[in-house]
Each structure stands twice: as structure tokens, then as C-alpha cells.
């Protein structure tokens, strides 16, 4: 629905943001209700450290939204990567989710300068550089 067809777009955005926040709080509460053995078993099944899983849940489902945009700016197909190396893509998502430089990344992505600047702050930089070289071999 566009802003023109929504009678109160700011109020609607606030309501949607609050609903998302509330849903996220419920997810965190569900996680806390698990006993430690069950939580550790889930983490093990996902092949991730329990502390990382806890942090990922805390950050929420949109914590890695920057990754597909970064891959696009680097000329790397997220779909192709997901088909060829799903575990690598999942690890890139995990690292991105736990990143402490979201503000810088979001600004660079919005400005279209992420490909030039990510080396200085991105925890996925070395992996992305390797992928970038593989996608664009020297001529």
C-alpha cells in the first residue's frame, strides 16, 4: 500500500514497528523458556555455538538484511551462492547478523559505496573478497 492510499502513514508505520517489536519480544521469551539442554541441542542441530544462537535470536530476523545488498553491490549472486555453497552463505549471514557496524554498512549501501568501503569494517570482508575474485576472475 502506497503512502498516498494510506490515510495515516506515520501512524501505520508506528503500529507495524510496534507489532514487529512485540513479535520479536515473544520470540525471545520463547527462547528463554527452553531449558539449557534443549537450547544447546537446537544450537548443535544448527551447527552453531549456543552463545551465537542466543545472540542471533536477540538481534532478530532482519539482522542480516544488509548481506544480499552487499552481495549485489559486489556483483555476487546470492541465489547462485546459496545453491553452490549454502553453508558458506549461512555463515556469511551469521557473521552479518552479529555485526557491530550496521550504521556504516547501511550508509555505504545506500550511497552505493559499499564495494569500495566494506574492507574497513565488515567482518565478512576476507570471505567477500575471495568470492568477489571468484566471480570476477582477472583478465
What is the rounded distance in angstroms from the CA atom of residue 48 to the CA atom of residue 55?
A: 11
Show me where the domains of the chain are located: 7-61, 62-139
What is the rounded distance in angstroms from the CA atom of residue 119 to the CA atom of residue 133?
A: 14
Helices (DSSP H) in 9-101: which residue ranges?
9-33, 36-45, 50-59, 66-73, 78-84, 86-97
Digit-coded pLDDT (tens) for 52-80: 878 777 777 778 899 999 999 999 999 99
Digit-coded pLDDT (tens) for 113-123: 999 999 999 99
Grid cell 575474485 in the structure block, residue: 133
- The model's pTM is 0.66
Amino acid at each position: 500500500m502506497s503512502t498516498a492510499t494510506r490515510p495515516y502513514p506515520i501512524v501505520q508505520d508506528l503500529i507495524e514497528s510496534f507489532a514487529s517489536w512485540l513479535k520479536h519480544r515473544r520470540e525471545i521469551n520463547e527462547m528463554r523458556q527452553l531449558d539449557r539442554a534443549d537450547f544447546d541441542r537446537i544450537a548443535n542441530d544448527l551447527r552453531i555455538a549456543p552463545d551465537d544462537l542466543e545472540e542471533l535470536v536477540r538481534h532478530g530476523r532482519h539482522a542480516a538484511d544488509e548481506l544480499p545488498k552487499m552481495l549485489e553491490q559486489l556483483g555476487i549472486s546470492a541465489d547462485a551462492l546459496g545453491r553452490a555453497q549454502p553453508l558458506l552463505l549461512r555463515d556469511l549471514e551469521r557473521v552479518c547478523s552479529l555485526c557491530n557496524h550496521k550504521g556504516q554498512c547501511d550508509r555505504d549501501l545506500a550511497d552505493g559505496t559499499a564495494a569500495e568501503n566494506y574492507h574497513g569494517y565488515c567482518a565478512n570482508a576476507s570471505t567477500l573478497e575471495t568470492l568477489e575474485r571468484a566471480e570476477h576472475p582477472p583478465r
